[in-house]
Amino acid sequence: MTIVVRTPVIEDATAMAKVHVETWLETYQGTMPDDVLFAPDSLQRREHMWNSLLAGGTSGKLTIAVAEHDRQLVGIAMSGPSDDEDRQGESELFVLYTYESVHGQGAGAKLLEAVVAPDESVSLWVADPNPRAQAFYCKMGFAPDGSRSTDDDDGVTEIRMIRPSR
């Protein structure tokens, strides 16, 4: 399977929204409340978000990438300056989602590499429990740092994982 990772263009926003919503359904069913996962405006909200970001709403601070296979988007990723007070000046991985159908095919690793330099210190927040994602991040050099948080919007508990600079 050939996975191509590239920088998205504005015309990708609709497909990115679809990947975002559908991978959330694959990943978080049973972890996230159904009213959040199945909200009737989920796709519309994500499409608006990606349109805004791709149209220049990032002020150059975010790095965004998409993965495709056979000209179809199969993954999305986004990083930028950390939102965490104790990680200021470092990068944070905000988004990394791939369809289950491409898990184990290298799409996640390629997306991570596209949005975060390999020698760069980076943090992320991952749902707990989410053993597959946590194992992937450990394989990519991340380790839990003991920080936990509960997302205000969806009530999901998350742990922070850190990959130190190399």
CATH number, residue 30: 3.40.630.30
- Distance between CA atoms of residues 7 and 31, nearest Å: 31
Q: Give a yes or no: residue 125 inside a domain.
A: no
Q: Give a yes or no: residue 51 inside a domain.
A: yes
Determine which of 5-14, 23-32, 50-59, 78-87 has the lowest per-residue pLDDT on average. Answer: 50-59
Q: Give a yes or no: residue 78 inside a domain.
A: yes
In this predicted structure, the answer to whether residue 58 has a pLDDT above a threshold of 80 is no
Residue 59, pLDDT score: 66
Q: Give a yes or no: residue 136 inside a domain.
A: no
Number of structural domains found in the chain: 1
Q: Give a yes or no: residue 144 inside a domain.
A: no
- Its domain, for residue 31, covers 4-118
In this predicted structure, the answer to whether residue 146 has a pLDDT above a threshold of 80 is yes
For the beta sheet containing 91-98, the strands, ordered from the edge strand earlier in sequence to the opposite edge, are 4-6, 63-69, 72-81, 91-98, 122-127, 157-163, 143-150
Q: Give a yes or no: residue 157 inside a domain.
A: no
pLDDT-above-90 percentage for the chain: 88
- Reported as a single tens digit per residue, the pLDDT across 62-79 is 999 999 999 999 999 999
Q: Give a yes or no: residue 57 inside a domain.
A: yes
